[in-house]
Amino acid sequence: MRSNSSRRSAFSLVEIMTVVGIIAFLAAIAVPNMLRSRAKAQAAVCIDNLRQLDSAKAQWAFEFKKVDTDTLSMSDLTPYLRNGVMLVCPANGAYAVTVVSESPSCTVAGHTL
C-alpha cells in the first residue's frame, strides 16, 4: 500500500527571509570590527617602517660621521634598508626625513614613532 501523493519539501519565504536577516545582522557587526582591525594593522606596519627608517638614518649618520644638524634625503637611506627597497606606508601616507636629530615622520595622522 503505497501512497501516491508526492510530498515536496522546500523552504518557505519566511524561513529564507529569517536566514537573510541573521546574515545581515552578523555582517553589520563584523564589518566595523574588520575595518578597525585593518586600520590598526596599517598603523602597526607604518610604525615598524618608521623604526626601520630611523635605524637606517642612524647607520647612515654613523658611517658618514654626520652631526645632528646635517640634512639627509630618502635616497641616502636606500642602501641601508632591506633589499634596498624604499618603504611605503600601507595607508597611502608619505614618509619624510629631514635632519639627523629628528625622527622620521608619516603624513597619516596617528602614525608616529
pLDDT tens string 15-56: 999 999 999 999 999 999 999 999 999 999 999 999 999 999
Neighbouring C-alpha atoms within 13 Å toward the C-beta of 58: 7
Q: What global pTM score does this model have?
A: 0.78
pLDDT tens string 78-109: 999 999 899 999 999 999 999 999 999 999 99
What Rg value do the Cα atoms of the chain yield, rounded? Answer: 28
User: For residue 41, how far is the Cα from the chain centroid?
Assistant: 4
Q: Of all residues in the chain, what percent carry a pLDDT higher than 70?
A: 94
SS3 state at 25: helix
- Output the DSSP codes for 31-98: HHHHHHHHHHHHHHHHHHHHHHHHHHHHHHHHHTT--TT-B--HHHHGGGSGGGPPP--TTS--EE--
